[in-house]
A = this chain, B = another copy of it.
Amino acid sequence: MNNSDSIVALTSRLLRIIHKHSRIEETPIRTGRSAGLTAKELHSLSAIGQQEGLNIKSIGDLLGVSKSAASQMVGKLEGKGLARKEKAPANDKDVLTYLTEAGWEAFEAHREFHERHLRALVEQLEEFPDTQLAVAAAILAVVESVMDSRIRELFGD
């Protein structure tokens, strides 16, 4: 009569996936032989590497933290020899962020870690026919839209 069992199965599965992802992502044993980087450091490093030449403020926006937090974080990465700050050529105010050689090494190691993880997943997903994958994506799109409205509700419109 109803599909509530399927819905419960789906949502609880999704919740477990979310929690397990946090657990994987937050584990400090992190990637790469290059150094003992915390998850946050690595995350910041990725933000810098993904789009070099952003100023401190933009890095903060990208990471969802204050400009102060971004400044501290970039300073820390600079202290570890992984990032580099440079005055913007166009003006005397902005400070642009880049990765050093060592920074790129860590970036690559991290990217590969994720890539490897993703590849295992992709291999499994290839077993499913395209139509089924599309259905799943459509359903997840609905999930995302519900979350979007919740976020809008929480952080002003």
Contact = CB atoms under 8 A, between A and B. Distances in A.
B3 A133 contact: yes
A93 interface: no
Interface stretch (A72-80, A99-107, A136-144): A136-144
A134 B7 CA distance: 8
B139 A136 contact: yes
Contacts of A120: 146, 149-150
Number of copies of this protein chain within its complex = 2
A31 to B, nearest CB: 11
A27 B153 CA distance: 12
| Chain A interface SS verdict (over half) | helix
Interface string A123-157: 01111111011111101111111111111001100
Contact of A21 (B3, B7, B18): B18
Interface in A110-126: 117-118, 120-122, 124-126
Contacts of A143: 17, 121
A40 to B, nearest CB: 13
